[in-house]
Amino acid sequence: MSTEHGVLLGPADIRELAAALGVRPTKQRGQNFVIDANTVRRIVRTAEVGPEDVVVEVGPGLGSLTLALLETASHVTAVEIDDVLAGALPATVKARLPHKEGAFDLVHSDAMLVKELPGPAPTALVANLPYNVAVPVLLHMLDTFPTIERTLVMVQSEVADRLAAGPGSRVYGVPSVKANWYADVKRAGAIGRNVFWPAPNVDSGLVSLVRRTEPVRTTASRREVFAVVDAAFAQRRKTLRAALSGWAGSAAAAEAALVAAGVSPQARGEALTVAEFARIAEHKEAAA
């Protein structure tokens, strides 16, 4: 194995490991392994991971990012669904960073089903998320682990744009509002295709999410607010009066809730902030 970047994995290491394990990256799981040591170091830097951090990583694959995180963080817990990859990762950590073996935990599970993690509570989430499940996994982790203060995820470029979009943007939608419920969200850079194996046919982007110190002020529950968001964007071109008629019971009831919340019934979902969606949720009883 090459030692050009010390403990980190280079292209030859990745292919060697994959061949030894009989691993072929699958489209079904959205697997694209990072083969560039400089990229994983950049991700760790951009995520501002420090020696006090306890990091949870979703979809570690062969361990490229895992090793870079372990170099810096106090503890890393990786969540991997793939049987072969989950079985191999502890050995890779032991071979490359033997002194950090005790600072590493592996959870062999679907991230969407994870409700608790071993070891200390996570302070950061850093992951190269499989493209097909990026948004649900991200929202599940933020909701399940409120101790996660900072998140940096690598996702498909279009998904990064949607997550970081603000009201009025053409790509502002359900992911934008729901991510903003938890955190201040922004684009944190672009990642080229040539740092992956196999090279995907889409560009990737980094998204930074810093958890809100002040949660959205509302008497409505997260579930109630998200129900309004889902209804508002289910029929994007409709006014909120029409789009929320099913949620409220009728168009007239939707109008009553909107007026009570101080939102124009003629507005559309893409114009509203997360706080406005929360106000509408609070006034559902006005619709009754």
Burial of 118 (0-12, 13-18, 19+ CB in 10 A): exposed
Closest CA relative to residue 230, chosen from 155, 174, 281: 174
- Indicate the angle between helix axes 222-234 and 274-282, nearest 10 degrees: 110
User: In this structure, what token pair is assigned to residue 285?
Assistant: 């009883």
pLDDT at residue 3 in the model: 43
Instruction: Kindly list the averaged pLDDT for each block of 10 residues, start to end, along the chain of length 288.
Output: 68 94 72 90 97 97 97 98 96 97 98 96 95 94 98 96 97 97 98 91 95 94 97 93 96 97 97 98 80
pLDDT at residue 4 in the model: 45
User: In this structure, what token pair is assigned to residue 34?
Assistant: 């990072």
Burial state string for 240-260 with b = 16 or more CB within 10 A and e = fewer than 16? bbbbbbebbeebebbbbbbeb
Contact 32, 1 (CB under 8 A): no
pLDDT at residue 24 in the model: 79
SS3 state of residue 203:
coil
Contacts of 117 (CB under 8 A, 6+ apart): 56, 77, 79, 105, 107, 145
Neighbours of 221 (CB within 10 A): 11
Contact 227, 281 (CB under 8 A): yes
Preceding omega of 90 cis (within 30 degrees of 0): no
Closest CA relative to residue 107, chosen from 117, 97, 115: 117
Q: In which element (H, E) is residue 184 found?
A: strand 183-191
Burial of 72 (0-12, 13-18, 19+ CB in 10 A): middle
Q: Report, in this order, helix, strand and coil percent for the chain, each rounded to 5.
A: 45, 15, 35
Dihedral, CA atoms, 79, 85, 86, 87, nearest 10 degrees? -170
User: In this structure, what token pair is assigned to residue 82?
Assistant: 């793939």
User: In this structure, what token pair is assigned to residue 230?
Assistant: 């889902």
